[in-house]
Structure 1
Amino acid sequence: MLLASVGVCQAQVQSDSTQVDSVKQSFDASIIANLKQMSERKTIVGKVLKALLDFDPVNEEAYGQNAELIHKEYEKHNYKVVRRIDIMTLDAFGYSINDTSKAPDNFFKKAGNVLHVKTGRGEVRNKLLFRKNEPLKPLDLIESERLLRQTKHILDARIIVNEETTTNDSVDIFVLTKDIFSLGGSGSYSLSSGKGRVSLRELNFLGQAHQVQGTYKFNLDRPRPWEVAGFYTVENIGRTYVTADVAYVNENYYKEKSLALSRTFFSTNTKYAGAVKASWIEDRFQLPNTPGDTTLVYGDIGYTRQDVWLGRALQPKSYNLGYESRGRIILGARVINTNYKTTPTDNFQDNTLMLGSVGYSIRKYYKDRYIFGFGRTEDIPVGTLFSITGGYQEGDIWDRTYLGTSLSVAKYGSHFGYLFGRAGYGTYIRDDRWEQGVLDLEGLYISKLSEWGNWKLRHYLLGRGTIGINRYPEELLFINDESGIRGFRSDIVRGTRRVSVNYEANLYTPLSLLGFRLATFIFADAAWLSTGNKSSPFRDKPYRSYGIGFRLRNEFLSFSTIQFTLGYYPQLPLNTNMQDFKLFKSSSQYYDFRDFQFTRPGVAEFY
């Protein structure tokens, strides 16, 4: 029965796939053909090319699919009883989610699968929003597929109704997932200084979805020569969608011990969310310099914190039994208790902050490729999220009120791309004085995908503004790396108001080396800073950077993208050891989506 179901559902998967137009292949056909011809020669070079390069055409699913439209295909199955659920999990290497007949064809792929423990069917079943012998609710199929795809140790997923065995009152469902190689690590060592770092992580320990990560640094030129950090996560405990997190960090200037249990609004129809967290933190805080200081000044801060929040989503009534409204009214309450052991200034006090919020969220998802991944299916969140937050902070020295609001909107279309905008404001009020206020603005545009054969191009444009209003003197902004200019690093350049603009053009190539896909990019960044509550950040020339680089990513592996960048910095601050040109490596992407999932009530962040 399972094999028959696989065959039927596989035919459905293949029917959704698009064939690559032979005309489009002309741009890169000659390059691929020449490399393939060289690999067929019985020479050392030919054997190496054949072992390393992958010449199989990528069978890509059509991009720009609306998950809501896909859902309409299954509306006729709403509220039918789920009679049978068949689950197939595929290993990381050599298998295809679009063609289950494919299998590993060389030693490297087979050896990689031997070292990998495949995800258990029980772990996949725990992610499903539908159950055997229960009615199938609207959105269950689409939301379950998205949740599986967003799991860190799963590369892609398909959930398909077996139309040939479906009756008027019951359905059979086939679930297909493909793993990534969940074990990964990295390291570095300097021959000149003897410094080194070793990192290991496992995203799917024994196929049970447990995540373990550890880092050890040695021979450091700091007060203590070593540092260590460890993290442990267990997802979806007992099919409750509750996640447990444990963290231990012991570094020279930062120490943390924390425990947390959390449940998010993981699905559009989730009713309850919340979290409980306890943490112990010791950190070093950079203080503002005075005119007489010749070096950077730091202060120590240490505190314990207990954090509890609870959220409830209310669904407006829908009079269409085949379709549920995506809009949700969400209520949230949060209590944060902080006790300081060490403070760098008098602006820190023991306090209890009580927050309440009400919000309205509409969210849905599109499916596309080549947004941030290298060909895998990606879920693009769009919708609207509006929230109002109010609270009261009771402290040992003073009490004050908090007010904040936020609005986010995103649209997506296969013809114009993705457009996101956000505006938020928050402030404390103490004795009729507004303090620690922040206005936060953000806009992100991602162009539609341009294609020349198997070469694909996207443009990214990100604009951000963080305006501090009556902030404390020790609260200052940087423009380092993700905060403004990639590759920039300075502890001297700081301010209270910041505006940054980032542009990138990303070219995805058809070249593949041992499963690593290659992309090249160019970028340009600009950031403005000002100090003072009334000064404009545009009074001075911006700090800028221009550069070029390339990325390598294997979607079947757990470690992040490998990226090398050459940046040029025409304006540098005084008393810095930065050079005009800088070659640096990065493992994280610079852009990301903002989901429209309601999160815990919080204070507007200033960083």
Structure 2
Amino acid sequence: MPYLHPICKPLPLVCLLCMLLLCVGVCQAQVQPQDTTRQDSLPQDTIRQTFNERMIQNLKQMSERKTIMGKLLKALLDFERDEEEVYGLDAELIQKEYELHNYKIVRHIDILSLDPFGYSISDTSRAPRNFFEKAGNSLHVKTGRGEVRNKLLFRKMEPLEPLALVESERLLRQTRHILDARIIVNEETTTNDSVDVFVITRDVFSLGGSGSYSPSSGRGRITLRELNFLGQGHQIEGTYKFNLNRPRPWEAAAFYSIENIGRTYISADLAYVDENYYKEKSFYLYRDFYTLNTKYAGAVGISRIDQRIILPTAPEDTAARFGNVGYAQQDVWLGRTLKPKTYILGYEPRGRFILGARVINTKYNTVPTENFQDNVLMLGSVGYSIRKYYKDRFIFGFGRTEDVPVGTLFSVTGGYQDGAIWDRHYLGSSLSFARYGPSFGYLYSRVGYGSFLRDDRWEQGVLDVEAMYITRLAEWGNWKLRHYLLGRGTFGINRYPEELLSINNESGVRGFRSDMVRGTRRASFNYEANLYTPLSLIGFRLATFVYADLAWLSFGNQSSPFKEKPYSSFGLGFRLRNEFMSFSTIQVTLSYYPQLPPNTSMRGVRLYESSAPFYDFRNFQFDRPGVADFH
């Protein structure tokens, strides 16, 4: 499997400085305009202003002074700019408008690529105002028009296919180095048989990085990344860790990616990881089912991985036991979609039948137990997918337009494993669906099962269930609130002894870490309330949150995890995010752990930093055939 590299933590000094500045009210004026008619009719001393309004007014007065502090505040803060109004959040309505132009010839395609700072997708007349915005743009290389054109599903002097405009806009917006995109049909020049199209994109400041340093131990981490090298969409990232108290004092990792090579929608990933307990060299060429109308998808890849895994512990053990696994792998798969016939011109059915086949060849050079064997796994799958996207904001982002996937995905997978010691069959299935409404929120659920069959005995089975609900956005002026609820269950059936589940971090309890707390059956429940504030500093928006996590673990095929005492965590914190930059979200959390595992260095109350997301959308894009995950 490709390596999912950890996101580096930000510098603690930067986080503390930002928190201090935000606490004293160094914020951007994004409050709603007041009723001036009412104010003029009342004495000034009878007008009750909020603390936020008074602080902003005082800062604005200070910024008008001809002092060094005044000039600094004027450069850093923007008091006039209200929150940008975003139109067209209902993708279904946009699609109905675009249906008027189906199969018309595209005469002209005009592309406008905007720098990240000071510009607006909705108001193209807006321009940078202060020194920092202009300086940031001068260091940035805009996305080339050819790179934007490669993402478009329509071409000049060709008929405009149904869904091409909506899907092209979504593909642009999901590109890592593009913040937002709009595709507009020029209604003034539209005729009965032809159209002119205007494409506007706004970049993310693609050069970024992060790091951390502990003065007490001298340990640190540095990460540098470029998401859009020379405006061509190439992504480069490197990480270096130093002064580690492990077998070796340093670790390094490098990643290189190219998206959409020559309008083929074929991408390439190259990874090199050299850590103490994980090493990887891998290369993959792949093409996803990137749109509803994609006919073919597939991938070919090679990898070499050496890693350390946790082995089952005995009752008398006071520390975790480990073993080493090393293997080389070749992976090839191919998928094909089949579209149901329709006799309605301009109507594009949402459903697709998908066929897929995959072959994985694995050769082990280091094994910790006899349960690892050289093998060739052949898989085939058939599925049915219905998917579409809505638009919303303030779900996982801090104001950018987000595409909300909804639909249904059902698949059945069968296969055969030809092993060096034993052979066996595989059977698995999964069903998932999601619904969304502006007044309802977002609801997702999934159930999946998979298991191998060897000599009339089912083994390495897993039943996986998940449900997530995100409430609608509650608003009080520029203050916005959402609630997130996530429930998950993973139940192993006749798993091998060295295959164990944890509840560390995203697996169950955020901030939790222990090598001794392991099991074969896990259930977890996570709750979070996220308050998006109107406060910002140099474009870094502030959100605060409270959360509660519960997780249960048990060992054995017949044991229920709910019979065990749960591990839990309760906490609060804040997040800082600049949507115009490629930096990870800065998150600082204060957590309380009522129950601690034995022989652990964890503390009952912990202050820590993180930038890894805990919640995310589940897409209904059909993926390569595979074995049900157990992790």
2:82 matched residue in structure 1: 57
Identify the match of residue 189 of structure 2 among 150, 160, 165. Answer: 165
Cα distance in 1 between the residues matched to 2:192 and 2:539: 45
What amino acid does structure 1 have at the position aligned with 2:53? I
**Secondary structure of 1:122 counterpart:** helix
Partner residue, 1:350: 374
What residue number does 1:16 align with?
Answer: none
8 Å Cα contact 1:39-1:47 kept in structure 2:
no
Alpha-carbon offset, residue 40 of structure 1: 2.3
Instruction: Name the residue aligned to 2:525.
Output: 501
- Aligned AA for 1:40? Q
- Measured after TM superposition, the shift of residue 36 of structure 1 is 3.4
Gaps of 5+ in 2: 1-30, 36-46
Say which is worse superposed, 182-191 or 91-100, in terms of deviation.
Answer: 182-191
Aligned-partner SS, 2:74: helix
- 2:114 aligned to which of 75, 90, 94: 90
- Tell me what 2:59 maps to: 38
Shift of 1:62: 4.7
SS in 2 for 1:485: coil
Once the two structures are overlaid, the 10-residue window that deviates more, 421-430 or 68-77, is: 68-77
**CA–CA separation in structure 2 for the residues paired with 1:52 and 1:548:** 28
Quote the Cα distance in structure 2 between the aligned partners of 1:566 and 1:256. 34
1:557 maps to 2:581: yes
Q: Which whole-Å deviations, capped at 9, do the CAs of 1:317-344 have from their partners, x for residues lacking one?
A: 1122111001000000000000000001
Contact 1:262–1:276 at 8 Å: present in 2 too? yes
Residue matched to 1:383: 407
Do the aligned residues in 1 keep the contact of 2:461 with 2:493 (CA within 8 Å)? Answer: yes
Q: Which whole-Å CA distance do the structure 2 matches of 1:456 and 1:517 have between them?
A: 12
How far apart, in 2, do the equivalents of 1:294 and 1:456 lie?
47
1:316 aligned counterpart, secondary structure = coil
C-alpha deviation, 1:112, in angstroms: 0.6
User: What is the distance in 2 between the residues matched to 1:528 and 1:54?
Assistant: 48
| Deviation (angstroms), 1:541 | 1.6
Question: What does the per-residue CA deviation read over 1:515-574, in whole Å, with 9 as the maximum and x for residues that have no partner?
Answer: 000000000000010011110101122111100000000000001110000000001111
Q: Distance in 2 between matches of 1:157 and 1:286?
A: 45
TM-score, normalised to structure 2, is: 0.91
Contact 1:328 1:362 in 2 (8 A): yes
TM-aligned CA deviation for residue 451 of structure 1: 0.4
Which residue in the other structure is 1:78 paired with?
A: 102
Aligned residue number for residue 516 of structure 1: 540
Cα distance in 2 between the residues matched to 1:579 and 1:53:
39
- For residue 22 of structure 1, report the CA deviation from its aligned partner: 5.9
Per the alignment, in what secondary structure is the counterpart of residue 168 of structure 2? Answer: helix
Identity across the alignment (%) = 72
1:398 lines up with 2:422 in the alignment: yes
Opposite residue 392 of structure 2, the aligned amino acid is: D
Identify unmatched segments of 5+ residues in structure 1. Answer: 1-18
The letter of the residue matching 1:98 is S
Structure 1, residues 336-388: CA drift from partner, whole Å, max 9, x if none? 00000000100000000000000000000000000000110000000000000
Which amino acid counterpart does residue 603 of structure 1 have in structure 2? V
C-alpha distance in 1 between matches for 2:528 and 2:302:
40
Letter in 1 for 2:338: L
Letter in 1 for 2:99: E
CA shift, 1:294, in A, is 3.4
Q: In the TM superposition, what whole-angstrom CA distance separates every residue of 1:406-456 from its partner, at most 9, and x where no partner exists?
A: 000000011110000000000000001000000000000000000000000
2-structure distance, mates of 1:423, 1:247: 32
Give the CA deviation at 1:103: 0.9
Letter in 2 for 1:172: D
How far residue 261 of structure 1 moved from its aligned partner, in angstroms, is 0.2
Q: Please say if residues 67 and 364 of structure 1, whose CA atoms lie closer than 8 Å, have aligned partners that are also in contact.
A: no
Distance 1:46 1:116 in 2: 28
Return the letter of the residue paired with 1:57: D
Contact 1:197 1:217 survives alignment (8 Å): yes
Of 301, 307, 310, which aligns to 2:334? 310
Report the AA paired with residue 39 of structure 1.
Answer: K
- Aligned residue pairs, count: 586
- State the shift of 1:140 in Å: 0.1
Distance in 1 separating the partners of 2:289 and 2:327: 29
Counterpart residue type for residue 129 of structure 1? L
Deviation readout 1:255-276 (Å, 9 max, x if unpaired): 1000110000000111100000
User: Deviation at 1:53?
Assistant: 2.9
C-alpha distance in 1, partners of 2:530/2:146?
Answer: 39
Alignment of 1:577-592 (within 5 A): 577-592=601-616
Taking the aligned partners of 1:127 and 1:590, their CA distance within structure 2 comes to 29
Kindly provide the CA deviation profile for residues 171-202 of structure 1, in whole angstroms up to 9, marking residues without a partner as x: 10000000010000112223332222111000
- Partner SS, residue 364 of structure 1: strand
Output the amino acid matched with 1:343. V
1:101 to 121, 125, 130: 125
CA deviation vs aligned residue, 1:388-412 (integer Å, no higher than 9, x gap): 0000000000000000000000000
1:40–1:50 Cα contact (<8 Å) kept = no
Shift of 1:225: 1.4
1:570–1:374 Cα change, 3 Å: same
| CA distance in 1: counterparts of 2:49 and 2:149, whole angstroms | 42
Deviations 1:567-596 (A, max 9, x none): 000011111111110001111221000000
Measure, in 2, the Cα distance between the counterparts of 1:425 and 1:465: 12
Tell me how far apart the structure 1 counterparts of residues 48 and 437 of structure 2 sit (CA, whole Å): 26
Q: What letter corresponds to residue 188 of structure 2 in structure 1? A: E
Name the amino acid aligned to 2:57.
Answer: K
8 Å Cα contact 1:27-1:452 kept in structure 2: no
The amino acid that maps onto 2:340 is P
Q: Spell out the pairing of 1:120-135 with structure 2 (5 A cutoff).
A: 120-135=144-159
Q: Which residue of 1 aligns with 2:228?
A: 204
Asked whether the 8 Å contact 1:28–1:455 carries over to 2, the reply is no
Whichever residue aligns with residue 60 of structure 1, its letter is E
Which secondary structure does the structure 2 equivalent of 1:40 belong to?
helix
Q: Does 1:488 align with 2:509?
A: no
TM-score normalised to structure 1 length: 0.94
Whether the aligned pair in 2 keeps the contact of 1:368 and 1:378 (CA below 8 Å) is yes
CA contact (8 A) 1:40 1:47 kept: no
Query: Alpha-carbon deviation of 1:46?
Result: 4.7
Distance, in Å, in 1 between the alignment partners of 2:274 and 2:101 is: 53
Match of 1:526 among 532, 547, 550: 550
Quote the residue 1:4 is aligned against.
Answer: none
Counterpart of 1:412 (choices 436, 440, 461) is: 436
CA–CA distance in 1 between the matches of 2:128 and 2:228?
A: 21
Deviations 1:135-156 (A, max 9, x none): 0000000000000000000000
Q: Give the CA deviation at 1:29.
A: 6.6
Q: Deviations over 1:494-529 (max 9, x none)?
A: 100000000000000001100000000000000010
After superposition, what is the alpha-carbon deviation per residue over 1:199-240, rounded to whole angstroms, capped at 9, x for unaligned? 100000000000000001112111111111000000000100
Asked whether the equivalents of residues 319 and 599 of structure 2 are also in contact (C-alpha less than 8 Å), the reply is no
Distance 1:232 1:591, change over 3 A: same
Cα distance, 1:121 vs. partner?
A: 0.4
How far has the Cα of 1:39 moved from its partner? 2.2
Output the amino acid matched with 2:182. R
Give, in whole Å, the separation in 1 of the partners of 2:319 and 2:540: 45
Report deviation, 1:27: 11
Match of 1:191?
Answer: 215
Question: 2:314, 2:594 → 1: CA distance?
Answer: 28
Q: 1:1-28 deviations in whole A, cap 9, x for unaligned?
A: xxxxxxxxxxxxxxxxxx97868xx999
Give the Cα–Cα distance (whole angstroms) in 2 for the partners of residues 67 and 351 of structure 1: 46
Secondary structure, in 3 states, of the residue corresponding to 2:141? Answer: coil
Using a 3 Å threshold, how does the CA distance of structure 1 residues 417 and 62 change in structure 2: closer, same or farther?
farther
Cα gap change, 1:249 to 1:426, in 2 (>3 Å): same
Shift of the alpha carbon at 1:292?
Answer: 4.2
**8 Å Cα contact 1:157/1:177 also seen in 2:** yes
